[in-house]
Amino acid sequence: MGPEWTQRLATVYGDEAVEAQQRRYEEAINAFRELYGPGPVAVCRCPGRVNLIGEHTDYNNGFCLPAPLDRDVLLLVRPRSDHQVSLLNIESEQFSPRRFTLSEEIPSGPPGDWGNYARGAGQKLWQVFGPLRGFDGLVVSRPPYGVPRGAGVSSSTALTVVTAIALAHINSLNVPTEQLAQICSEAEWYVGTRGGILDQFATMLGRQGHALFLDCQPQINEDGTRHYPTELVPLLEDYTLVLVDSKVRHSHTTGGYNVRVTECRLGTACLAAHYPEVHTLRDVQSLPWEELSPLLPEEATLDDLEAMGIDVAAWLGDLRIAPDIRLKLRARSRHVYTENQRVLDSVTALRRGDASAMGRLINKAHESLRDDYEVSCPEIETLRDIIMDVEGVLGARMVGGGWGGCVVSLVEAGHEEAFSEQVAPAYEQATGHTPDVFVCRTSEGAGVAIETEC
Ligand code: GLA
């Protein structure tokens, strides 16, 4: 492994991580060679992400503040001359091989199938760019360097994005990163979740040592394409973000997430009945909440909304939810409205280096997710209560879509070890789940890390 590798890995992960990553990359490349034989190989990567604040705002065209983690999915690839994609996983016992043919419409595997994320990327890129060559690939994302799965740090996005990066590379597509990030966010709809752009932008446009202030309200370019403003904001020095994985797993594809998306769209519909220029919850951000609140029913079914004269079908598009669900439009909209403001305040706090203010905002965000958005769960609450009692913790909140996954905490540097010693056993005793505690370091956004012969 030459000095250019060392240099490259230092740029991606930081100097202190180079040695361990070199070993990891060598092992991965050797495994690829054993499976596919000697020849060229490109190592593509996509990190997981932590969102400091700005949860469930992205699909409402709001603000978020994520950062790319040093935990990443590697996809080692070699081009094929046909349209086939062969996917092996180094964790072969849990993830058996997948093979599919790229096309405009790739048949899906069963819900939850790990190959679906790659299929979604392949189908979307084909639709946008036309016929593509496939690849022989090996996915490497095992602990301790891989992206924890189902933990709210975007493991599924990482798989979608890394496939898109590989296909773009192999087919010399030369797509600007922002455009590819937009394409990847729509690629993920393939699995049935109507996510926003947070994860794809965080993992592709994020940078080491920074949070990415992302405005999900697109500006429309002259040629009709969209541009999402972003800005890199340095993370606080002397403070660490610590993630604790509750080991409670969500499944977005089973519907709770899409119900929240529905509630936001229909909340917007109620507001649009009074303010015709409103198309998303972001469009009411400049109005006082007291004016908006009475326009939003506390609870309503789809039938109630129809009776109010709202064209439910038009607002929902292809979203489908059970018709008898009581939708809490006021509380959900209030979360989005207050969360957007918290993101703006957080950017100010980071710029000023005001860690206490950042901690308070993180705590408020959690309360809002728990009470107004109702996406927490008992284990996450237990975990957070334990964390809030630890010395040096300024704030803690659930991250990601919800119903399990991780809690992120803002911790004064030097307290990380005591944090881990205190939180892990207390949580295990309370819930029976053995948590994973990891100190967040950041890395560069997704890309082709290394090209070599093996
Ligand atoms: C999931 C989605 C994101 C975002 C978050 C909640 O991670 O994939 O687009 O909506 O939930 O903030």
Q: How far apart are CA 453 and CA 39, in angstroms?
A: 5
55 lines ligand 1 (CB under 6 A): yes
Which atom in ligand 1 lies closest to the alpha carbon of residue 188?
Answer: 8
Q: How far apart are CA 225 and CA 220, in angstroms?
A: 6
pLDDT digits (tens, 9 = 90+) for 150-185: 788 999 999 999 999 999 999 999 999 999 999 999
Catalytic residue (one of 70, 72, 199, 245): 199
Residue nearest ligand 1's atom 8 by CA? 195
The average pLDDT across 50-56 equals 97
pTM: 0.93
**How close is the Cα of 401 to the center of ligand 1, in Å?**
5
Q: Which helix (H) or strand (E) holds 177?
A: helix 177-187
Q: Give the CA radius of gyration of the chain.
A: 22
- State how beta strands 84-89 and 135-140 pair: parallel
> What pLDDT does residue 151 have?
81
pLDDT digits (tens, 9 = 90+) for 173-231: 999 999 999 999 999 999 887 778 999 999 999 999 999 999 999 999 999 999 999 99
CB 58 within 8 A of CB 64: yes
**How close is the Cα of 56 to the center of ligand 1, in Å?**
6
> What pLDDT does residue 150 have?
79
Residue nearest ligand 1's atom 10 by CA? 56
Q: Token pair 């969500």 is at which residue?
A: 250
> What pLDDT does residue 252 have?
55
Q: How far apart are CA 445 and CA 121, in angstroms?
A: 18
Q: How far apart are CA 384 and CA 292, in angstroms?
A: 31
> What pLDDT does residue 243 have?
95
Residue nearest ligand 1's atom 2 by CA? 195
Among 308, 321, 197, which residue's Cα sits nearest to residue 263? 321
The average pLDDT across 46-51 equals 96
Q: How far apart are CA 82 and CA 13, in angstroms?
A: 34
pLDDT digits (tens, 9 = 90+) for 410-431: 999 999 999 999 999 999 999 9
Residue nearest ligand 1's atom 4 by CA? 56
- State how beta strands 84-89 and 98-101 pair: antiparallel
Amino acid identity of 90?
I
267 lines ligand 1 (CB under 6 A): no
**Could you confirm whether 113 is annotated as catalytic?**
no
The average pLDDT across 111-133 equals 97
> What pLDDT does residue 194 have?
74
Name 88's bridge partners. 138
Among 170, 191, 158, which residue's Cα sits nearest to residue 50? 158
Assess whether pLDDT exceeds 70 at residue 251: no
Name 87's bridge partners. 98, 137
pLDDT digits (tens, 9 = 90+) for 356-376: 999 999 999 999 999 999 999
pLDDT digits (tens, 9 = 90+) for 393-409: 999 999 988 899 999 99
Among 88, 90, 145, 142, which residue's Cα sits nearest to residue 118? 88
Within 13 Å of residue 244, how many CA atoms lie on the same side as its CB?
A: 33
The average pLDDT across 139-155 equals 92
Is the link from the previous residue into 144 a cis peptide, with omega within 30 of 0? yes
103 token code pair = 């096309």
The average pLDDT across 263-289 equals 97
CB 343 within 8 A of CB 335: no
198 lines ligand 1 (CB under 6 A): yes
Amino acid identity of 70?
D
Q: How far apart are CA 398 and CA 58, in angstroms?
A: 16
Question: What is the fold, at CATH topology level, of the domain defined by 3-235+442-453?
Answer: Ribosomal Protein S5; domain 2 (3.30.230)
**How close is the Cα of 160 to the center of ligand 1, in Å?**
14
- CA 163, 257, 165 angle in degrees (round to 5)? 10
Query: Strand, helix or coil at 157?
Result: helix
**How close is the Cα of 18 to the center of ligand 1, in Å?**
31
35 token code pair = 């499976």
The average pLDDT across 64-92 equals 97
Would you place residue 1 in the very low, low, confident or very high pLDDT band (cuts 50, 70, 90)?
A: low
Q: Token pair 């109010």 is at which residue?
A: 308
Within 13 Å of residue 147, how many CA atoms lie on the same side as its CB?
A: 31
Domain boundaries, the chain: 3-235+442-453
Q: How far apart are CA 147 and CA 156, in angstroms?
A: 9
8 lines ligand 1 (CB under 6 A): no
**How close is the Cα of 59 to the center of ligand 1, in Å?**
8
> What pLDDT does residue 428 have?
98
Which atom in ligand 1 lies closest to the alpha carbon of residue 51?
Answer: 12
Amino acid identity of 64?
C
Which atom in ligand 1 lies closest to the alpha carbon of residue 257?
Answer: 11
Q: How far apart are CA 333 and CA 281, in angstroms?
A: 7
Share of the chain above pLDDT 70, in %: 99
Would you place residue 74 in the very low, low, confident or very high pLDDT band (cuts 50, 70, 90)?
A: very high
308 token code pair = 């109010």
Assess whether pLDDT exceeds 90 at residue 305: yes
**How close is the Cα of 143 to the center of ligand 1, in Å?**
23
> What pLDDT does residue 195 have?
79
Would you place residue 141 in the very low, low, confident or very high pLDDT band (cuts 50, 70, 90)?
A: very high
Q: How much is the mean pLDDT over the chain?
A: 95
Q: How far apart are CA 246 and CA 153, in angstroms?
A: 12
Q: How far apart are CA 123 and CA 131, in angstroms?
A: 10
> What pLDDT does residue 254 have?
58
Residues 6 or more apart from 143 whose CB is under 8 A from it?
none
